[in-house]
Each structure stands twice: as C-alpha cells, then as structure tokens.
Amino acid sequence: MPSEPVPPDPGRDEDPRRVPPWPEWMDDPAYLALRAADEDPGDPDQDPEDALPTDVDPGELAAEAERITADRARAAEVGLVLRSLCYTVTALRSAVTAAV
C-alpha cells in the first residue's frame, strides 16, 4: 500500500499532470473570431466548396472510380505475384549455393 496519497486519475503513463479539457488553440482569439463568423457551419458533407462541378456526370464519375479500384486490385495482385517470384528465386539460389 502506498505511503503517500494516490491521485484519483494518474493520467497517461502514470503522469500525474492533468490534461486540459480542450487544446489551448481553442482559446485563441483568432480561432474564436473565425467560429463566430461562421454562423451556421452546416453539414461538412454538404459544403458547397466540395460540390461536384456542374459538368460532371455522376455515372462517369462512378465508372472512373470503379476503373481505379480495379486497377489498384490488379496492381496488388501483380505485387503478390512478384513477391512470390522473389521468394522462389531466393529459395532456388539458396538450393544451388548449398548444392555447390
């Protein structure tokens, strides 16, 4: 049993310092002014700056996304084949070296 009192929440890695309830930058006047200027931040997924241009066809965008996904899957398969070939070559070199 410890001879001195144990703090109620020792913190991370037994560090007795308390963690502030929020980062100090949240008290920065510039940050607070920006927050006050943004009266209705709205849904970040519906931000007009992130909207698709009007000349983009959603079907074409979906097709391009599928093509990119397929290209990445193919590249991953090729990478696995190449890795397997490298292991095979290494094993063959070891076998030849041991036989000589």
pLDDT tens across 53-86, in order?
A: 778 888 998 999 999 999 999 999 999 889 899 9
Question: Which range (1-5, 26-30, 50-54) has the least confidence?
Answer: 1-5
> Backbone phi, then psi, for 39, in 5-degree steps?
-65, -40
pLDDT mean over 21-40: 80
Size of the chain, expressed as the number of residues it contains: 100
The two structure tokens encoding residue 40: 């209705």
Identify the three-state secondary structure at position 55.
Answer: coil
Whole-model pTM above 0.75? no
Single out the residue of 36, 60, 40, 58 nearest to residue 48, CA to CA: 40
HSE, side-chain direction, 13 A CA sphere, residue 77: 6
Distances (CA, A) of 99 to 21, 26, 92, 93: 68, 69, 10, 10
